[in-house]
Amino acid sequence: MVKDLVAAQNDFFATQKTKEVAYRKQYLKKLQEEIVAQEDSICDALYADFKKPKFESLATETQLVLAELKYAIKSVKSWSERNHVGASLLNFPSKEWVQPEPYGKVLIISPWNYPFMLSISPLIGALAAGNTAILKPSEFSPNTSKIIAQIIRKVFPPEYVTVVEGGVEASTALLAEKWEYIFFTGSTRVGKIVYKKAAEHLTPVTLELSGKNPCIVDESASIKLAAKRIAWGKFINAGQTCIAPDYILVHKNVKKALVEGLKTNIAGFYGESIEASQDFARITTSKHYEELKAMLKGQQVLFGGNYNDEDQYLEPTLVDEPQLDSTVMEGEVFGPILPIISYADKSELDEYISHYPNSLAFYVFSNTKKFQQRMMQNYSFGGGTINDTVVHITNKALPFGGVGQSGIGGYHGKHTFDLFSHHKAIVQRGNWLDPAIRYAPYNVSLKWIKKLKHFF
């Protein structure tokens, strides 16, 4: 079955149809129309999967995708054009340019936490660049996976774009095939499996992975605003956001005020009974739910900590001063648990941050320019925000992705198009001049050849 789909996409790509910009644009528009028509059903599917509030489904899934589509439809023609560069004197007479061209068949594997956006957003760039694609959404968001499959089936012929639903088995079968590009979003553990499979065919990859994102609150920060913005970025999607603040490092002198601010804002956002709030999602998978509950064992809870097994509800929870070797501080916290650790000085702060490999995101709350700069310069991470959380994802001009353990490659906007394009270098020589100097027998003095460096 997978083999047939792959063969059909190979044959279709060979027809050169996807190299026509008008063809790509026509299908991007069809996709746009279908998503607009199905927007409510997509939100319903997300609600069925993990009670995702409709506001969050619109803001962080469908509208983000529609913005990417609008931009791609408007720009695909100019993105696809050849880019002329200054011609080299050594090639005189010549024209020289970079021609973006599609790789061929692309495999996109996505996770369950933003199951619609993280499937369709890379697909838009892959198609704008002229590739064919097979999408493998997560088995843990089955309702969203189903509606993605329906939309794709309605819009595209399967030899152009198709969806393969399923879990590890489906993924493994797909990864056994040869792809021209693989785009994976998910855990670092599975990212390594994908990278190994891709290496067998020297297939280029983008790996959008995870990390433990520090959120630093300096003594000079505007604490009330910091508390509000941290609570928002942490508890949106019930903390199941790859760029959510993972843990707080707060200067000891402002810890009390920050904790109070966080409590006030959580209550302000979700009311007295958070479980009854329509604005707070559930934990999507039972495996992650159990792991999160286990993280709370033996911890000092400053706020929250309640849960309900019936629908995998876990309250926004603040954990006080956990040890670095405790479960909550060992790996990524992919849920509404926020550890808070205080520091006394810069060296202590540095020790905490350096304890972990490159994070995907990095947040600094401070009103001291020097401190902001030092934090942004000294550490390696995917992307970050000063005095807010999460929002660096909203600007399509900024590449979104990790570094080191948190991933390879960045996308969004034109970056996605560039990522899914091979940038072919072309030189077109003129025939009216052909100096003899480069041809053997070499009769030119070596003194002249040593001046070549000025001409490359």
The footprint of ligand NAD (CB under 6 A) covers 109-113, 118, 136, 138-139, 167-168, 171-172, 175, 185-187, 190, 193, 208-210, 242, 332, 334, 360, 402, 407
CB-nearer residue toward ligand NAD: 341 or 360: 360
Task: Describe the strand order of the beta sheet including 214-217 as a list of residue ranges.
Answer: 300-303, 317-320, 337-343, 247-251, 214-217, 359-365, 381-386
C-beta closer to ligand NAD: residue 251 or 412: 412
- 219 as an active site residue: the answer is no
d(CA 96, CA 375): 42
Beta carbon of residue 112, minimum distance to ligand NAD (angstroms, whole number): 5
* Least separation in angstroms between CB 296 and ligand NAD: 19
Q: From start to end of 254-396, where are the E strands?
A: 300-303, 307-308, 313-314, 317-320, 337-343, 359-365, 381-386
Please identify, using beta-carbon distances, which residue of 182 and 216 lies nearer to ligand NAD: 182
Cβ distance to ligand NAD smaller for residue 242 or 349: 242
CA distance 456 to 453: 6
Q: C-beta of 170: minimal distance to ligand NAD in Å?
A: 7
Q: Measured between alpha carbons, how far is 276 from 269 in angstroms, rounded to an integer? A: 12
Q: For this structure, is 43 an active site residue?
A: no
Dig out the tokens for 8 from the structure: 């059909």
- Closest approach, Cβ 402 to ligand NAD, in A, equals 6
Catalytic residue among 56, 68, 177, 242: 242
Catalytic one among 208, 215, 315, 332? Answer: 208
Least distance (Å) from ligand NAD to the CB of residue 194? 6
Least CB distance to ligand NAD at residue 19 (A): 29
Three-class SS of residue 342? strand
- Between residues 261 and 384, which has the closer beta carbon with respect to ligand NAD? 384
Nearer to ligand NAD, 18 or 389 (CB): 389
Do 82 and 99 form a contact (C-beta atoms < 8 A)?
Answer: yes
Nearest-approach distance from CB 192 to ligand NAD, in angstroms = 10
Which residues lie below 8 Å from residue 226, measured CB to CB, with a gap of 6+? 217, 258, 261, 365, 387
User: What is the residue type of 299?
Assistant: Q
CA–CA gap between residue 187 and residue 208 (Å, rounded): 8
Sorted by sequence, the CB contacts under 8 Å of residue 237 that are 6+ apart come out as: 52, 56, 60, 113, 114, 244, 281
Question: Phi and psi (nearest 5°) for 381?
Answer: -155, 170
CB of 158 to ligand NAD, least distance (A): 19
CA neighbor of 283 nearest in space, from 59, 43, 112, 109: 112
55 Cβ contact list (under 8 Å, min separation 6) = 279
Give dist(CA 403, CA 81) in Å, integer.
Answer: 30
81-87 long-range contacts, CB within 8 A, separation 24+: 82/426, 87/427
Distance CA 277, CA 448 (A): 79
Specify the residue, 172 or 323, whose C-beta has the smaller distance to ligand NAD: 172
* 36 class by beta-carbon count within 10 Å (0-12 exposed, 13-18 middle, 19+ buried): exposed
Nearer to ligand NAD, 42 or 135 (CB): 135
For residue 19, which of 101, 124, 78 has the smallest C-alpha distance?
A: 101
Catalytic residues: 208, 242
